[in-house]
Amino acid sequence: MSDNNKVIIFDTTLRDGEQSPGASMTRDEKLRVAKQLEKMRVDVIEAGFAIASQGDFESVKAIAEAVQNSTVCSLSRALDADIDRAGEALLNANSGRIHTFIATSPIHMKYKLQMQPDQVVAQAVHAVKRARNLIDDVEFSLEDASRSELDFMCRIIEQVIDAGARTINIPDTVGYAVPEEFAYTIRQLIERIPNADKAIFSVHCHNDLGLAVANSLAAVGAGARQVECTINGLGERAGNASLEEIVMAIRTRKDMLGVETDIDTTQIVPASRLISSVTGFPVQPNKAIVGANAFAHESGIHQDGVLKHRETYEIMTAQDVGWNTNRMVLGKHSGRAAFRSRLDELGTTFATDAELNSAFARFKELADKKHEIFDEDLMALVSDTRAAAASEKFKLSSLAVTSQTGETPLAKVVMQVEGEEVQAEAMGSGPVDAAFKAIEAIASSEAELQLYSVNAITQGTDSQGEVTVRLENGGRIVNGLGADTDIIIASAKAYIHALNMLDANIQKAHPQV
């Protein structure tokens, strides 16, 4: 395809997506996601905000060193320290980008920055020049662009392009725009700015009014050639434009949009499952493209039509986006080679043989309980294995729960605390509540339970349950994950995983602070 017909896909799941409360990822989890995004042929991976914390810096650095076929990007405010830290994190990248930004709307300049427009322009130009001294690929964003004055945007964009910015991002930071208005803004900027042809125009839309994808596509129609988006639409508040919806709309309606992407769409569903598993944010069943019901037909009229001719009610195939591309079902007679091969196909690799052996042992245990093991089971099993491997202070030895009609449930738990066996028991309003209280009697974390979520991974009464437990303590929020065919055990695993993450005390500052 010609450069003018290609839309660059800029994935910000690891940066903006991670800003969702409770969605923080560990360094290893970020690496797994980044490798999946690379496998999907994402053009630019925004790996984090290098100055936000030491953890974010190390994640950006690790991803920059591991990813070879996508550009790795770090966000930075228009401040010297931010830019220098981003440059340091990207030092060993095969292809790196610094993405610097400053607010340009009257309300942000007056109340947040407390700066005059001339000062904002000067700082933006200085930031771009400093970034260009460190790296060739510099992107500049006008924060809150959808509420900024058009004349001022033209002025600042012209100057930052002269300073060396090669991508100009127009974010709808608060999800305020509507498609016709947003397209008009993009079109006006491209037409009015004298050196607009020296930069690629990008958009980054939030979903506060449910218009992020519509606004992004309208902008593409107006000349934008980069779209910033996230897997599953993950992001703070109502989220970001959904990558899978953007990509499949471009592919399905090429007749209207006239553009293409380089994305391998068969990797969309594996990426969606990975993000859901890592963050603990389940995908709603009716979510476009990746929801469980996205290609389901229950209406008799629809079923009849699809049986006669698929395109009567389907505008794309499930296989196009990665549903059911391989129906190999593993079981207790499956060997290590088949196990490893299927996980490779799902985008999951193991850093060491010990990690593979641990996961395979858990697979065999699961196969004794469950006749057929599906892809969803494997992804949950791997997440559970890694959660257990990351555990240090607390480990579950045994759990016994008594629950009977008319009686208060009782849980008895035995845990290893730094290698020493400790026991406790507690009553609760239900078996899970009793188990959590017994664990807390040992841990004494004083953490507040913010979320308890259970998802059946596959159909059937022998399905694994995947549990997410979100704990908050002293301003820190962590997600614990656990999976088991016994939902009480899965819940205990998730709670203990969260406790170990709190104990690790990895600080992550919010990038906007």
Q: Is residue 512 part of a domain?
A: no
Helix axes 375-390, 487-504, angle to 10 degrees: 40
Segment 406-416 mean pLDDT: 96
- 267 DSSP assignment: G
The candidate with the shortest Cα–Cα distance to 135, out of 82, 99, 81, is 99
Tell me how many degrees the CA angle 169-175-178 measures, rounded to the nearest 5. Answer: 90
Q: Do 385 and 354 contact (CB within 8 A), yes or no? A: no
The candidate with the shortest Cα–Cα distance to 402, out of 437, 431, 436, is 431
Tally of domains in the chain: 4
| Residue at 35: amino acid letter | K
HEC string of 12-49 equals CCCCCHHHCCCCCCCHHHHHHHHHHHHHCCCCEEEEEC
Residue 489 pLDDT greater than 80, yes or no:
yes
pTM: 0.82
- pLDDT attached to residue 53: 87
Phi-psi region of 41 (alpha: psi -120 to 50; beta: other; left: phi over 0): left
Same domain for 195 and 142:
yes
Confidence of residue 306 (pLDDT cuts 50, 70, 90): very low
Which backbone phi and psi does 193 adopt, to 5 degrees?
-85, 120
- The encoded tokens of residue 139 equal 């992107």
Mean of per-residue pLDDT scores for the chain: 88
Q: How far apart are the first and last CA of the chain?
A: 41
Segment 162-173 mean pLDDT: 98
Q: Is residue 214 part of a domain?
A: yes
| Residue at 45: amino acid letter | I
Q: Do 78 and 98 contact (CB within 8 A), yes or no? A: no
Q: Is residue 11 part of a domain?
A: yes
Query: How do residues 450-467 score in pLDDT, each as one tens digit?
Result: 989 887 766 666 677 888
- pLDDT attached to residue 363: 82
Same domain for 214 and 129:
yes
- pLDDT attached to residue 297: 46
Q: Is residue 284 part of a domain?
A: no
Q: Is residue 331 part of a domain?
A: no
Confidence of residue 213 (pLDDT cuts 50, 70, 90): very high
CATH number at residue 439: 3.30.160.270
* pLDDT, greater one: 324 or 126: 126
Same domain for 499 and 350:
no
Same domain for 456 and 344:
no
Domain encompassing residue 361: 336-385
Same domain for 340 and 319:
no
Confidence of residue 93 (pLDDT cuts 50, 70, 90): very high
Which 3 state secondary structure label does DSSP give 329? coil
Which backbone phi and psi does 304 adopt, to 5 degrees?
-60, -45
Which backbone phi and psi does 410 adopt, to 5 degrees?
-130, 135
- 282 DSSP assignment: P
The candidate with the shortest Cα–Cα distance to 96, out of 77, 70, 118, 78, is 70
CATH number at residue 177: 3.20.20.70
The rounded Cα 361 to chain-centroid distance in angstroms is 29
Q: Give the C-alpha separation, 358 to 486, whole Å.
A: 20
User: Which secondary-structure segment (H or E) carries 481?
Assistant: strand 476-484
Q: Give the C-alpha separation, 309 to 311, whole Å.
A: 6
User: Which secondary-structure segment (H or E) carries 122?
Assistant: helix 117-132
- The encoded tokens of residue 374 equal 């599906």
Same domain for 9 and 81:
yes
Same domain for 103 and 173:
yes
Helix axes 268-279, 27-39, angle to 10 degrees: 170
Same domain for 183 and 107:
yes
Q: Is residue 143 part of a domain?
A: yes
Residue 261 CB contacts under 8 Å (≥ 6 apart), including other chains = 6, 7, 8, 9, 247, 250, 251
Which 3 state secondary structure label does DSSP give 468? strand
Same domain for 212 and 344:
no
Same domain for 435 and 407:
yes
Same domain for 190 and 299:
no
For residues 245, 246, 247, 252, the Cα torsion angle rounded to the nearest 10 degrees is 80
| Residue at 103: amino acid letter | A
- For 319-365, give the DSSP string: GGGTTTS----B-TT--HHHHHHHHHHTT---SSHHHHHHHHHHHHH
CB atoms within 10 A of CB 353: 8
Which 3 state secondary structure label does DSSP give 23? coil
Q: Is residue 197 part of a domain?
A: yes
Q: Is residue 196 part of a domain?
A: yes
Same domain for 371 and 464:
no
Segment 11-28 mean pLDDT: 86
- pLDDT attached to residue 302: 43
